[in-house]
Amino acid sequence: MNVVTRFAPSPTGHLHIGGARTAIFCWLLARHYGGQFHLRIEDTDLLRSKQEYTDSILASMRWLGLDWDGPLNYQTQRTALYNQYVDKLLESGHAYWCSCTPEEVEAMREKAREQGLKPRYNGCCRERNLGPGEGRCVRLKAPLAGKVVFDDLVKGTIAVDVSELDDMVIRRADGMPTYNMAVVVDDHEMGITHVIRGDDHVSNTPRQILIYEALGLPVPRFGHVPMILGPDRQKLSKRHGARAVIEYQNDGLLPQALVNYLVRLGWSHGDQEIFTREELIEFFDGTSLNPAAAAFDPAKLEWCNAHFMRELPLSELAALVRPFAEQAGYDMTGLDDSRLEALCHMFRERAANLKVLAESFAPLLTPAASLPLDEKAAAKNLTEAGKGHLAALREVFAACDFTQEALEAALQGYIEGNGLKFKDVAPALRTALMGFMGGPHLPEIMAFLGKDETLARLARAAA
């Protein structure tokens, strides 16, 4: 099957998760069928469109791994092309010039409203055969009866009576084509076979189909995905923890986790939750798209990210966490790849994202003298008995090779040799090493810290 899809963001803000999900669906559909995926920048809103947003959207697309085919298209560069199509419609009698002023059109709408009808343009200039002129727009001559029917990939069959659709403006009085006109021309020129977009556009689709039909062009397949809702099933907002893709990136989310999470918001493959990219491409064929709106669940996104962080080879995780460690302000001089990998190995199980992971390294990268000591943990664990063990363990470890295995054996030897239990010793040791009651496996911590730093920590806590 020949599949050509597109993502058509308006650069009036950063890429948000709703847009990202649409882009992912379009990208996957194209990749599944070995087709093409295009990117078009819908920048006709001159007041709100900004190049910085286009750049940010492209950066987010790249970060998500959504590569596009062919050149980028900017709608503002294509006005002449759109107008050629408007001219064709005028020549074929499918469009006409209209001299009604906005005030007159508003009055028609008001009158319709008063009569309990749908507000619409009354077709006043339809048969007047006007030519171009100051203040005149061009309207599509829509059929007067019948239905526009299309089979939506997500929502199933949608039928709209043409009486609901008045003769829409396709070129404004200022010569600019309207949104629906531009989209149809673009989608046709770009050879788009499948238009997948948010269902905030579903009411545009019958209008766009009328333009295709008037131009005698094949109509693509449409799929309208429901909006993503907040956990309270209200409109999704920042208050729900939903943010722009770039903010997730800055927080250290993995792109594969965000892609995986977003794909599952509105699409399913049995009850599988975690997919490799290859699996997504293999399974995503444009079916199993859920017509019901899905709710954003930050906890599940976090779970998904933690999963991918655990699965990643340590070397990759270490490379990804490095900029976050730099940001955290650590002295990076001694932190070569193998030491970063060791830190990742110790802390990744407990971290939901790269930023938190980098921050969790702090106790091991702060020198003994300035390591904060949690007061409660100190009061509870650095008792006389606890300090006694720390002093004795200093002697034991001083004579020890600082590999994890040797430290493990030495600690075990001390516990067993003195008829103790692990819990008699571990809380004091942990408080001494970490400054609080938490953190990874004790011998692994010590092996990482090395002899000098370990002994310094024990000495400080025992004092």
224 touching ligand GLU, by CB under 6 A = no
Q: Fill in the per-residue mask, 31 to 50: x = in contact with ligand GLU (CB under 6 A), - = not in contact.
A: -----------x--------
**Binding region for ligand GLU (CB under 6 A) out of 8-16, 126-134, 300-308, 400-408:** 8-16
> Out of 94, 136, 171, 197, which residue is the one contacting ligand GLU (CB under 6 A)?
197
> Out of 95, 140, 183, 294, which residue is the one contacting ligand GLU (CB under 6 A)?
183
> Out of 3, 4, 5, 10, which residue is the one contacting ligand GLU (CB under 6 A)?
10
186 touching ligand GLU, by CB under 6 A = no
In whole angstroms, give the CA distance from residue 34 to residue 199. Answer: 26
206 touching ligand GLU, by CB under 6 A = no
User: Please, what is the minimum distance in Å from the beta carbon of residue 189 to ligand GLU?
Assistant: 14
Within 8 A by CB and 6+ apart from 158, the residues are 149, 150, 151, 152, 202, 205, 206
User: Please, what is the minimum distance in Å from the beta carbon of residue 135 to ligand GLU?
Assistant: 28
16 touching ligand GLU, by CB under 6 A = no
441-447 — which CB contacts under 8 Å span 24+ positions?
441/346, 442/407, 442/411, 443/404, 443/405, 443/407, 443/408, 443/411, 444/342, 444/345, 444/346, 444/404, 445/346, 445/364, 446/397, 446/402, 446/404, 446/407, 447/342, 447/402, 447/403, 447/404, 447/407
Site residues for ligand GLU, window 277-316 (CB under 6 A)?
none
User: Please, what is the minimum distance in Å from the beta carbon of residue 319 to ligand GLU?
Assistant: 34
> Out of 171, 201, 207, 224, which residue is the one contacting ligand GLU (CB under 6 A)?
201
Cβ atoms 320, 254 nearer than 8 A: yes
Three-state DSSP string of 303-324:
HHHHHHHHHCCHHHHHHHHHHH
Of 120, 194, 128, 102, nearest in space to 161 by CA? 120
In whole angstroms, give the CA distance from residue 55 to residue 65. Answer: 15
User: Which is nearer to ligand GLU, 197 or 240 (by Cβ)?
Assistant: 197
9 touching ligand GLU, by CB under 6 A = yes
In whole angstroms, give the CA distance from residue 242 to residue 248. Answer: 9
User: Please, what is the minimum distance in Å from the beta carbon of residue 223 to ligand GLU?
Assistant: 11
User: Which is nearer to ligand GLU, 180 or 360 (by Cβ)?
Assistant: 180
Catalytically active residues are 238
194 touching ligand GLU, by CB under 6 A = no
Determine which helix (DSSP H) or strand (DSSP E) holds 95, and give its type and residue range. Answer: strand 95-98
User: Which is nearer to ligand GLU, 42 or 166 (by Cβ)?
Assistant: 42
Which residues sit at the interface with ligand GLU, rule CB under 6 A? 8-10, 42, 183, 197, 201
